[in-house]
Amino acid sequence: MTATSQPVDHTGLDRLIDELRRGANAWASISLHERAALLLRTRDAVRDTAAAWADTAIRIKQTPPSVRGEEWLAGPYITMATLTATAQTLTTLARGGNPVDGIPVGQAPGGRITLEVLPHGVQEALLLNGFSGAIWMPPGVGIDEVRATAGLGARRPTESGGVGLVLGAGNATLIGPLDALYELVAHNRVSVLKLNPTFAEMLPVYEKAFAPLIRRDLLRIINGEGDVGEYITGHPDVGHVHITGSASTHDAIVWGRGTEGERRRATHAPLMSKPITSELGGVSPIIVVPGKWSDADLAYQAENVATQKLQNSGHNCIAGQAMIMSSSWPQRAQFLDAIRKVFDSLPPRENWYPGSDRNMARAQHAYPHAERHGGRMLIEVGDSTSDELYRTEYFSPVLGHTTIPGIGVDFLRNAVRFANDRLVGTLGAGLIVAPHDRKEMGGAFTEAIAELRYGTIGINCWSATGYLAPVMPWGAYPGNTIDDVGSGIGVVHNTRLIADPERVVVNGPFRPFPRSWLGGEASTAPPMPWFVTSKANTSASKALTHYAGHPGWGRIPGVFKAILMP
């Protein structure tokens, strides 16, 4: 059945924006204590709708039973964790504290300081055992400057940020709501959240989950096609736009489409002059540092790579797409075989995101010798093939691999240059390295990481782990402009409200427990429940969501039980 396009209801949208304008003024009179309490009431509303939220997303995506935990984690779980952490930051500010109080400060190459924000507290240390993460500040920014600006708009709660438009992404159900939440807390800006048409069915769920914010005229959530977004973008009472999507959509908003858009860009005469922030994806590398790995290491890291590519059927802006290996690594063929085995073992999965089949056909055309494994593609890219995979985000289950020379530090430096210079985008990068090899590289390893220009870097874990930890800022490596937007401008999440971070670096265990101890890692982490191969994918995700709805010691045993005895 074909949907019939309806005229845009200008009167209804005008009324909605007027309600939000009044809500923005009211927000400026709400104390930080009241704001924190409102966020916790919103968390409780999300908790009450968690099952409906996950079930609706599962139905939309036709998610297979073995990985339905994805819709719990990348939905109500992270949303509730973000609301809790943000409320804690507002409470700290209300009491006269600073959001970075209690955070250890470290050093990184190039005159950078780091904020060691993960894990924070004993409960988080237990739940994320084996993981650590830090926010890196730009060179020359000291802790005094960080402290003076931490809190962003919440430091100036009486200043209204007006009304903004959030154009929600259509691949993960948490993105749009959390973008709107960040606008509210970090910039004192209320939002119209326009859903991507893929998530039209989510509207009644969202309306219940975010009812506390909607009742206070701080948020409106609507469906609509592009003409609805176009009208709101041009509305005189809407002062800011935030988009999660593609660079082409961003450019269409800023410059327009077709030859007119090209003319505007050439003359630097944007169609839209309002400020715009964005998160736009790219081609994410997975750098594999050569080492001497056991068969178990090869199998585990193959599952790691498969997860980075195949979670959500590859429909992620942060999905690993270009795996970079050493041409001198004796185990390279063995590792590729392990990846093929994982690809072949997974149950069939719907390429549900619009355009995915077209993208795969494009990849097949560019690489006629591409391997097919259970509906997934594995492509070798080299000097004799097209380099389209480096320049095109396929947003589908397509994994490329290539080789460059070198071992140890030489390889890592070459791989960093390759990722920086050859791949499109700067959102996230993954790196796999055995503890022994990392130790041998010493300070040169951290220096190489400092040269890797990505917003989030995951070492021995998917960079999306930074997305699972709402304390981490999420966005492209800084420096993009509307003329060359790359992977976007600005950050979201960032529950400590740190101003102008440079990047995030997250570390995970190279081996799960108990093999981690044999390899010298102080980790008791079992295989990660978000792996696409995990038998605990759904049970652990539900347990984590239950914990996030009302954090406390009494719920932690249930999480471990769900992970260890799914």
Between CA 510 and CA 304 the distance in angstroms is 10
Q: Which residues of 236-269 are buried (b: 16+ CB within 10 A; e: fewer)?
A: eebebbbbbbbbebbbbbbbbeeeebeebbeeee
Structural domains in the chain plus CATH codes? 11-99+156-239 (3.40.605.10), 246-279 (no CATH), 284-493+502-534 (3.40.309.10)
Q: Smallest Cα–Cα separation from 438: which of 285, 290, 302, 303?
A: 290
Count of C-beta atoms within a 10 Å radius of residue 332: 16
Residue 3 has what pLDDT? Answer: 38
- Spans of the chain, pLDDT less than 50: 1-5
Residue 118 has what pLDDT? Answer: 95
Residue 520 has what pLDDT? Answer: 76
Question: Cis link prior to 109 (omega < 30° from 0)?
Answer: no
Longest CA span, the chain: 67
Between CA 454 and CA 426 the distance in angstroms is 4
The Cα-based distances of 421 to 32, 392, 400 in angstroms read 44, 14, 17
The Cα-based distances of 283 to 142, 421, 487 in angstroms read 32, 12, 9
Residue 238 has what pLDDT? Answer: 98
Residue 422 has what pLDDT? Answer: 98
Count of C-beta atoms within a 10 Å radius of residue 472: 27
* Helix, strand or coil, per DSSP, at residue 169: coil
Q: Smallest Cα–Cα separation from 475: which of 462, 494, 460, 498?
A: 494
Residue type at position 107: Q
Q: Smallest Cα–Cα separation from 522: which of 430, 433, 435?
A: 435
Cα Rg for the chain, rounded, in angstroms? 23
CB 395 within 8 A of CB 360: no
Q: Which residues 6+ apart lie within 8 Å of 23 measured at CB?
A: 190, 216, 217, 218
Between CA 216 and CA 198 the distance in angstroms is 27
Residue 1 has what pLDDT? Answer: 32
The Cα-based distances of 19 to 9, 142, 161, 188, 410 in angstroms read 16, 41, 15, 16, 59
φ/ψ (deg, to 5) at 310? -105, -10
Listing DSSP states for 465-526 in one string gives HHHHSTTSEESPPS---SSS-TTEES-EE-TT--SS--EEEEE--SS-TTHHHHTT------
CB 136 within 8 A of CB 503: yes
Between CA 498 and CA 105 the distance in angstroms is 14
Q: What is the 3-state secondary structure (H, E, C) of 364-387?
A: HHHCCCCEEECCEEEEECCCCCCC
Token pair, residue 153, equals: 């708009």
Between CA 329 and CA 313 the distance in angstroms is 29
Token pair, residue 556, equals: 């932690």
The partner residues of 286 in beta bridges, in order of sequence, read 323, 430
C-alpha 296: how far from its chain's center? 29
Q: At 112, which helix (H) or strand (E)?
A: strand 112-118
DSSP state at residue 355: T
